[in-house]
Amino acid sequence: MIPIPQFVADLLDASVRRYNQPAFIAPDPISIPHRFSRLQDIEIMGFWAAMLAWGQRKTILTKCDDLINRMDGAPYDFVRNHQESDLKHFLGFKHRTFNDTDALYFLHFFRWFYSENTSLETAFSRYLHPNDLTVERALVGFHELFTGLPDFPPRTRKHVATPARKSGCKRLNMFLRWMVRRDSEGCGGVDFGLWHRIRPAQLVCPCDVHVERVARHLGLIRRKQTDWQTALELTAALRQLDPNDPVKYDFALFGLGVNNQLGTLQLGITN
């Protein structure tokens, strides 16, 4: 266990208060599901926005806008009621290595899943034990479910990570944060807190380049590589500050990193 100096704890707590605010929403991919009020629309576009969340944020938002337009502005209705001829609208879609083959499978999976379930939460929570410390089992189970349909295209596997392959699962952990975390009334308002069978205490911190850089600078990560064990190490450190909601510090680490707030800070921390 990495002990956290008090001044680092104070910095992180202050940064959560600074960045866990509605102003955080507009430039971030979480703004995409915030456009909707229906649970299933939020889930579908939240999942899609999270899975496309690599590269410049402006480009991510543009590509998500494109997806919404191809679904006539109503993701859940499109998923449940589209005809085969409607799928031609997705031909040519591309974001980095994500292409129309992947998009069509996402639609296929959503249609299959929502034909039998009300909420995407079930796709994760069914694999989770109440006493599990983290969502690791849920992520492994979801990956097997998502890739398990008979016509799954192998190329799509790389877009949905799993701890079973030692991935840090940054995008899935971010999506779960959006769906599970809830702030007390009058605070935050960024995350949705719509799911209740997964506890915020079980979440694992998304470890993107900004979070990792700041976490290493603050001495919260000592592991050399960046993988699932690194995400667990970071989350364990943050759990010292708030065992019930460790991933709220994702706001602090990301905000400090993306805004280059650590450039002149001399911490005197050694590994």
For 152-176, the pLDDT digits (tens) are: 999 999 999 999 999 999 999 999 9
> Residue 36: is its pLDDT beyond 90?
yes
Distance CA(214)–CA(57), nearest Å, equals 19
Tell which residue, 225, 238, 129, has the closest CA to residue 177: 238
Structure tokens at 187: 């605070």
Amino acid in the structure at residue 92: G
What are the φ and ψ backbone dihedral angles of 145, each rounded to 5 degrees?
-65, -50
What are the φ and ψ backbone dihedral angles of 172, each rounded to 5 degrees?
-65, -40
115 by DSSP, 3-state: which? coil
Residues 6+ apart with CB under 8 A from 115: 80
Confidence of residue 98 (pLDDT cuts 50, 70, 90): very high
Q: What is the DSSP string of 24-62?
A: GTTTSGGGTGGG--SHHHHHHHHHHHHHT--S-HHHHHH
For residue 7, what pLDDT is reported?
Answer: 94
Distance CA(55)–CA(73), nearest Å, equals 24
Distance CA(228)–CA(166), nearest Å, equals 5
For residue 260, what pLDDT is reported?
Answer: 75
Mean pLDDT of 26-33: 97
Confidence of residue 271 (pLDDT cuts 50, 70, 90): very low
> Residue 184: is its pLDDT beyond 80?
no
> pTM for the whole thing?
0.95
For residue 130, what pLDDT is reported?
Answer: 86
Q: To 10 degrees, what angle do helices 39-51 and 170-180 make?
A: 160
Query: Quick one: DSSP state of residue 98?
Result: E
